[in-house]
Amino acid sequence: MPLLFTRRLFPVHRQPPVFGVWQIVEEERFFRRRLALTPAEEAELGRYRDLRRLEWLAVRYLLHLLTGNGERWPLEKDAFAKPFFLTNNGLHCSLSHSKGLVGALLADVPGGCDLQVLTEKMPQLAPRFLHEEEVAFMRTFAADVQLDLQHVFWTAKESLYKAYGLKALDFRQHLRIEPFEWAGGSGEAIGWVCRQTPFQPYSLYFEKPAVRPGIPAFVWTVCLPSNAMA
């Protein structure tokens, strides 16, 4: 089974969240045999085809593994398309997928996660989501590091977007990442959702893990509300 890793994060948090990544090499029947879906989930799955369908199944199987439960907790989506457990209101989740990799976060507070396989298109996309101050910060690094940092900013802002959960956000103006240290392929930062006052701070952890042959290079980020740290 290609479970790449699971990770407990933010040890100062009263109940550290767990994040995991799975690389899909299975056929659909592998997941179908292991997932009992509700009629609503079956209907949602029916809207997807090919790889996106496999990602939908794989990320739910991964989340089920993270719960450690024998019986799977079904998922539904709220009015803003944010997934939540139908039968367990004490835990929260966030899901992500990118080109055959899926990631899932399980936490006791609303958080967000995102992963992104590295793409050469990111420099063309970056002006759409980077604030001028973030561009200036990124340019203090060597040119060969900046592609990684663009992916860090992208996954960080995607995770903030998911944690906030209400959409209607401008990635350049409403989602801001403070300067951070980037060494050894990982780092931490404070991110802000600047949609309504008072602005909302989030603690971020991000990483570009070392990968084995056959696994594409990728970056992932997890965020939790800073006021949840205790």
Q: What is the pLDDT of residues 191-200, one digit of tens each?
A: 999 988 889 9
- Determine what percent of the chain is predicted with pLDDT higher than 70: 98
pLDDT of residue 229: 64
* Range name among 56-70, 75-89, 115-129 with the lowest pLDDT average: 75-89
DSSP state of 130: -
Q: Which domains does the chain have, with CATH numbers?
A: 3-228 (3.90.470.20)
Q: Is the pLDDT confidence value at 135 over 90?
A: yes
**Res. 65 pLDDT band, cuts 50 70 90:** very high
Strand, coil or helix: what is 71?
coil
Q: Is the pLDDT confidence value at 220 over 90?
A: yes
Q: Is the pLDDT confidence value at 10 over 90?
A: no
CA proximity to 187, closest of 142, 152, 211, 160:
152
HSE-CB for 111 with a 13 A CA cutoff: 34
CA proximity to 10, closest of 199, 208, 230, 163:
230
Q: Tokens 């956000």 — which residue?
A: 169
Mean pLDDT taken over the chain = 95
Q: Strands, DSSP E only, in the chain?
A: 3-8, 18-23, 75-77, 83-85, 92-98, 101-107, 112-117, 175-177, 186-193, 200-207, 218-225
Which own/partner contact pairs does 106-110 have at CB distance under 8 Å and 24+ positions apart? 106/17, 106/18, 106/19, 106/63, 106/66, 106/67, 107/15, 107/17, 107/18, 107/224, 108/14, 108/15, 108/17, 109/224, 109/225, 109/228, 110/163, 110/165, 110/225
Q: Is the pLDDT confidence value at 106 over 80?
A: yes
Alpha-carbon gap, residue 167 to 81, rounded angstroms:
9
**Res. 132 pLDDT band, cuts 50 70 90:** very high
Q: Is the pLDDT confidence value at 12 over 80?
A: no
pLDDT of residue 16: 84
Mean pLDDT, rounded, for 76-86: 94
**pLDDT tens per residue across span 24-49:** 999 999 999 999 999 999 999 999 99
* Residue 228: how many other CB atoms lie within 10 Å: 19
**Res. 168 pLDDT band, cuts 50 70 90:** confident
Alpha-carbon gap, residue 79 to 112, rounded angstroms:
17
Q: Tokens 């967000």 — which residue?
A: 112
Q: Is the pLDDT confidence value at 89 over 90?
A: no
Q: Tokens 């403070």 — which residue?
A: 178
Mean pLDDT, rounded, for 95-115: 97
pLDDT of residue 196: 84
DSSP state of 183: B
Predicted TM-score of the model (pTM): 0.95
CA proximity to 111, closest of 202, 219, 215, 27:
202
Residues contacting 195, CB < 8 A, separation 6+: 164, 166, 168, 169, 174
pLDDT of residue 230: 58
- Determine what percent of the chain is predicted with pLDDT higher than 90: 88
**pLDDT tens per residue across span 143-166:** 889 999 999 999 999 999 999 998
